[in-house]
Structure 1
Amino acid sequence: MSVQPAVVRRVLLLAHTGREDARDVARAFVKALSSHGIVVRALAEEAADLELDPDDLEIVAGGDDDAACDCELAIVIGGDGTILRAAEITHERGTPLLGVNLGHVGFLAESEPEDVESTITAVVEGRYTSEERLTIDVSVFTDGQLVTSTWALNEASVEKAARERMLEVVVEVDGRPLSRFGCDGVVCATPTGSTAYNFSAGGPVVWPGVEALLMVPISAHALFARPLVVAPSSTLAVEVLTRTGGSGVLWCDGRRTVDLPPGARIEVRRGERPVRFVRLHAAPFTDRLVAKFGLPVQGWRGA
């Protein structure tokens, strides 16, 4: 009779090393999870910056593209920017992300600093679920040739490269031109990103359970330049017109950039790989909106 080897549980720890409070929270997770036999993996540079004991960790190189291999989840300590960076690291593996918010709004995070103890307990006991979030795949063409392919969780924004020069574009949906206008840019967002740049640009808030793509012009000089919500099977496109000589820049999640010469074409469609987020409790998205934005609900007489 063969003896089955014990299953090793492993989590990846990622943190905003520039925050003092991240060090204490990271240490709490490492100490508690290790004491329960869960292996905590960390990037070498982050472990050093957080002053974590390497004897308590499984260390991997900071440039390791497979840092999330064999990890059941990634614990992310920081704000939404840190979670977006974690999404880049774990995207290929599809590792669920558990965000512990140390930022201002922290819309992508599931836990707050005061909830660290209960969050640790939930991880140890495996009392969590995960949900998939739609992403977008982004393709950039110049002279009809594909030059860059990338992806985003929140949004891909086409923006003017020079402050003094407006960007003139034609936007397209499903292979058909919709409108031409001068603008500061165009945001193509996911429902997850609807509370990020899309929100600041005047786009709608879309519940995460809705599968859709969003397109929102930024400061457009046009009679018809309204926010659009289209089917998840649709393809959005933005063409930078050549006649004005204006160049642009593509930003993906505010982290990755691509220069856009006049004549560039950007196509956005539903991503092949979703991003997964850990959920510790089934709180309605409405409650998250109220809490994160401090919305006034006094006087409500519902159920």
Structure 2
Amino acid sequence: MTDFKRIGLVGRPDHSGVVDSLLRLLAFLGNQDVDIVLDDVTARLIENPGVNECTREELSSRCDLVIVVGGDGSILNVAKFIASDQVPVIGINRGKLGFLTDVLPNEIETNIANVLNGDYSVDKRFLLDVVARRGTTEHNLGSALNDVVLHPGKAAQMIEFELFIDDKFVYSQESDGLIVSTPTGSTAYSLSAGGPIMHPHLNAVVLVPMYPHSLNSRPIVIDGDSEIKLIVAAKESLEPQLSCDGEVLYTAVAGDEFLVTKKTVPLQLIHPPNHSFYQACRSKLGWGSRLPRADD
């Protein structure tokens, strides 16, 4: 007997392969003892889907499980809507790397059947919450599963800011910005900027400078429960921007502060049986396979 009776489907628009996978999912789930819900954007991808629809904001109240068809970016987009209500998510990979969406399109029926039969593992991936402070006014900007990034925005110039961790001054820096990354995000933008790969079970955050005007500024790994504060320099003439998982959420002015903390409720990411983070790294990042042995 499955734990999941109400299953939501979310698909990435503008990708022909996504529609093919959604149709396979609808055909398979239609023969199971489950209710199916499509988010309203996904419903427009399919002609006469014949199932219930809801907005993405309503998914967590209508579903026990969400299946995302797309790439890692599609998971990032859905995570902020369902994490707080502890609705688990599993991904069908129709993107590029697919660290989060690890079910292959030709294995949909097998892997989803395993999940419905209770044969799966659950990763709890924490998110970051961001608050902007301007004077005495605070704004809750949102959450990020991968990373929070302070960057110059449209201007191709360096910005200046200060970094505090748990109210302790760390440094001031002139650079293209700073990436505040979770372990989940350590294989994404942070990796491209020279940050370390962190195992997803670590309770840690990595701070990765972007092109710092210094020869000794390196990534710092800190405790995941730390409070991170970024203060835009008082004389900053540019208007830096703050992004969560690639989405610009705020344009700053001189003196603005950003507080970044770990979200109290993690995202529940479901994997098929025998999932291995290290195997994913080997296949996605081109790590070497095992060497031949004498007894092979």
**TM-score normalized by structure 1?**
0.90
Counterpart-to-counterpart distance in 1, 2:270 and 2:93: 13
Counterpart-to-counterpart distance in 1, 2:16 and 2:156: 39
Q: After TM superposition, give the deviation of residue 47 of structure 1 in Å.
A: 1.2
The one-character-per-residue Cα deviations of 1:190-211 (angstroms, maximum 9, x if unpaired) are 0001011111111110001111
Counterpart-to-counterpart distance in 2, 1:37 and 1:284: 30
User: Map of 1:14-93 to 2, 5 A cutoff?
Assistant: 14-51=10-47, 53-55=48-50, 57-60=51-54, 62=55, 65-93=57-85
Q: After TM superposition, give the deviation of residue 257 of structure 1 in Å.
A: 1.7
Which runs of no fewer than 5 residues in structure 2 stay unpaired?
none
Counterpart-to-counterpart distance in 1, 2:70 and 2:132: 31
Which deviates further from its counterpart, 99-108 or 229-238? Answer: 229-238
Q: After TM superposition, give the deviation of residue 70 of structure 1 in Å.
A: 4.4
CA RMSD after TM alignment: 2.0
Counterpart-to-counterpart distance in 2, 1:302 and 1:31: 48
User: Map of 1:127-138 to 2, 5 A cutoff?
Assistant: 127-138=119-130
User: Map of 1:134-149 to 2, 5 A cutoff?
Assistant: 134-149=126-141
Q: Look up the match of 2:284.
A: 292
Q: After TM superposition, give the deviation of residue 174 of structure 1 in Å.
A: 1.6
Q: Look up the match of 1:177.
A: 169
The DSSP-based 3-state class of the residue aligned with 1:21 is helix
**Match status 1:186 vs 2:178:** yes
Q: After TM superposition, give the deviation of residue 284 of structure 1 in Å.
A: 2.6
Counterpart-to-counterpart distance in 1, 2:290 and 2:72: 28
Q: Look up the match of 2:115.
A: 123
Aligned residues with identical type, % of pairs: 26
Q: After TM superposition, give the deviation of residue 263 of structure 1 in Å.
A: 1.0
The DSSP-based 3-state class of the residue aligned with 2:268 is strand
Q: After TM superposition, give the deviation of residue 164 of structure 1 in Å.
A: 3.6
Q: Pick the aligned partner of 1:278 from 260, 267, 270.
A: 270
The one-letter code sitting in structure 2 at the alignment partner of 1:47 is: A
The one-letter code sitting in structure 2 at the alignment partner of 1:59 is: E
Q: Look up the match of 2:253.
A: 261
Which deviates further from its counterpart, 78-87 or 256-265? Answer: 256-265
The DSSP-based 3-state class of the residue aligned with 2:280 is helix
Q: After TM superposition, give the deviation of residue 299 of structure 1 in Å.
A: 2.5
Counterpart-to-counterpart distance in 2, 1:218 and 1:200: 10
Q: Look up the match of 1:4.
A: none
The one-letter code sitting in structure 2 at the alignment partner of 1:206 is: M
The one-character-per-residue Cα deviations of 1:154-181 (angstroms, maximum 9, x if unpaired) are 1100001242431011111121111112
Structure 1 runs of 4+ aligned residues shifted over 4 Å read 300-303
**TM-score normalized by structure 2?**
0.92
